[in-house]
Amino acid sequence: MVSRNTDPFAEFDDAPETDQQKKVRKARLDREYIAFRDVLATYEGREYLWRLLERCGVWAPSFRVGEPDTTSFNEGARNIGLSIYRDILGQADGAEVLAAMQKEARARDESFKKEMEDGAV
């Protein structure tokens, strides 16, 4: 589940939450968890999230020698990707889903590579 530190609905101040605010925040997080679970339940949803993780540079270095602005930009994108990655792992079967996503991505890449070699694309 999403922690308070990464909760997009959390307030920016450190004022204590009222019981009502806690209920509302929990209901929002529960809906977010269910929606995310539903996205991960589909092949297309997993494919989209995998590509998003790749575009965010989760598995790539973000540092660029002599380019601090580019490095900072890359780190911002990577931070978003790592947030999505944490949300995937936060699901009950997150590790298994992530492994399935990787396996599906490899199969797609192999299929695309074969199509390129055969001239189909």
Q: What is the pLDDT of residues 77-98, one digit of tens each?
A: 999 999 999 999 999 999 999 9
The total number of residues written for the chain in this structure: 121
**What pLDDT sits at residue 15?**
79
Closest CA to 29 of 47, 11, 7: 7
DSSP state of 7: -
**What pLDDT sits at residue 16?**
87
pTM value is: 0.77
Structural domain of 31: 4-118
Concatenated DSSP letters for 20-73? HHHHHHHHHHHHHHHHHHHHHTSHHHHHHHHHHHHHTTTTS----TT-HHHHHH
Instruction: Count the domains in the chain.
Output: 1
**What pLDDT sits at residue 10?**
59
| 32-78 pLDDT per residue, tens | 999 999 999 999 999 999 999 999 999 999 999 999 999 999 999 99
Whether 11 has a pLDDT exceeding 70, the answer reads no
Whether 2 has a pLDDT exceeding 50, the answer reads no
Q: How many Å apart are CA 102 and CA 96, to the nearest integer?
A: 10
